[in-house]
Structure formats: structure tokens, C-alpha cells
Amino acid sequence: MSSGAESDGSAEEVMTGQAPVIRVLTLFPDMVRAVLATSIPGRAERQGQVRYEVTDIRDFAVDKHRTVDDTAYGGGAGMIMMAPPVVEAVEAVRRREDATVILTTPQGETFSEDLTLELLADLQAKGELILVCGRYKGIDERARELVVTREVSIGDYVLSGGELPALVVVDAIVRRLPGVLHDEDSAANDSFTTDRDGGLDCAWYTKPPEFRGLTVPEVLMSGHHANIEQWRRRQAVERTRQRRPDLAAGRDGKTKLSD
């Protein structure tokens, strides 16, 4: 990670000169860096498929107390993130005038597999994607107007801040960059993918063959690949019907998932 995370010196590590860069602007840079250095997002950077730049918005505060928030004009509880540090931080890190700048906020469009693929394409086309983590009650509307191009929510609940949502968005995107996932963590038939017709994944089993009296479905032990594939597909369809009838109907409203 260019701002803080250390090289692990592994053989995986390569030059990252041309890798697209995801810039995260936050008031909690240590929290963001820790997650981005871990697991698949961390491996993606070490392998050179992406770079992360984490910027502390407080470094762009305009007063000596490094103030980044204040009370709302017109009154009301809660602190508002001030426009100047947010706008100046974005302008300082942004390399392209047309870069997509995402604000994570409960008021944004709901994050999804479709949006993941759209943002992945955007990152690959422009080589840059910027996420601003909202905090407190919200950010000054003028910061949105001046630098934010897109607003994303990860669901209808309110978190303490936009860091976890930003990390959700980054994780979902980078695992889809070519070469990031290896066979053992393939995304091909994950829930919501085209392989699953946008529905849920099936049930999976591993060793031991029996645990506390519970066995593995016989077909999975049969070695008959066509039967196994059919069982998994039917299982996924049934699971989707039961748990997510909204997905079973198909995202375009047409009936999908026929077995």
C-alpha cells in the first residue's frame, strides 16, 4: 500500500507501476489500511493487480485544530463533515478530471453485483476510482455538489460511518479483477453471478463424510460429474425460490431459473 502498509517481501510481490489505483479518503486511515492489507484485497495489491492509496481527510483541515466537522446550520443534533477538507482532499489526490468519486452514504443507490461490475469496468477504463467515507450525520451538501459523482449505500441500515461500506465496495470490485482469484476461491458460480442466473449458490460439503450423524448427499460422492452438476443447479434454484423469491423471479421481471 503506497501510504503506510509494509511490503511483506513475498515472492508474489511484483512491480505495481501500471496497476489501477483505488483511493480511499477517510478520517480513519488505519482502519481502512488494515483491511486492505488483508486477505484477497491485500493479495491483489501484492500481486500488482491494484494499488490502494489511503488519505486522511484531516490532513486537509484548514485550521490549526485540524477541524473536519461542525454543527449544522439551522440547528439539529449531529455533526456535519465540512466541505473544505473533503473537497480539497479529493482535488489533491484525483489524477483525472473525470474520475468517479463515490461517497458512501445511506442515501446512495444500493450496492449490488451489477454495480460491482460497472465500477470494475470504470476502474479498468480510467485506472482510478475514488471513495470518500462519509462520517457523522453527513457531509456538507456543497462537497457533494463539487466533487462527488456517485453515492452508494450497502443496505437499509445505518452504520457509524462510511469506512465499512467503502471496504465492502473495494473488496467486491478487486476480487473480480482478472487474476486476483485463484481456482480455490473462484467466483464463477457464486451467488448473484450469471452462472447462477442471478440467484443464490447451492449447498457445499467437505470432509468428513459424516459429522454428528449428518451425511453428505450421495450424489456428491458418486464421481458422476453430470449428475453432480444437475444436483447443484437444482439445489441452487430451490434455495433461491425459498430464500429469495425476488431473485427467483429474475431481475428483469421475467421468470428465470428454470431447471
Q: Where are the alpha helices (DSSP H) in the chain?
A: 29-36, 39-46, 83-93, 113-126, 141-147, 163-174, 218-221, 225-243, 245-248
Burial of 35 per CB tally in 10 Å (0-12, 13-18, 19+): buried
| Closer CB to ligand ADE, 84 or 106, in the complex | 106
Contact track, ligand ADE, 107-146, x by CB under 6 A: ---------------------------x------------
Neighbours of 150 (CB within 10 A): 17
| Closer CB to ligand ADE, 106 or 127, in the complex | 106
Query: Rounded to an integer, what distance in angstroms lies between the CA atom of residue 253 and that of residue 259?
Result: 18
104 is an interface residue for ligand ADE by CB under 6 A? yes
Kindly tell me which residue out of 74, 157, 252, 254 binds ligand ADE, with binding defined by CB under 6 A: 157
Tell the residue number behind the cell numbers 441500515, with chain if given.
157
Binding region for ligand ADE (CB under 6 A) out of 19-27, 36-44, 86-94, 160-168: 160-168
Helix (H, G, I), strand (E, B) or coil at 51: strand
235 is an interface residue for ligand ADE by CB under 6 A? no
| Closer CB to ligand ADE, 109 or 259, in the complex | 109
Query: Rounded to an integer, what distance in angstroms lies between the CA atom of residue 98 and that of residue 74?
Result: 34
Query: How far apart, in Å, are the Cα atoms of 148 and each of 137, 140, 141, 190, 229?
Result: 17, 11, 10, 31, 45
Tell the residue number behind the cell numbers 488483508, with chain if given.
38
Binding region for ligand ADE (CB under 6 A) out of 1-9, 64-72, 78-86, 149-157: 149-157
106 is an interface residue for ligand ADE by CB under 6 A? yes
| Closer CB to ligand ADE, 82 or 169, in the complex | 169
Contact track, ligand ADE, 15-54, x by CB under 6 A: ----------------------------------------
Q: Cβ 137 to ligand ADE, closest distance in Å?
A: 10
Per CB under 6 A, residues contacting ligand ADE are: 104-106, 134, 153-155, 157-159, 161-162, 165
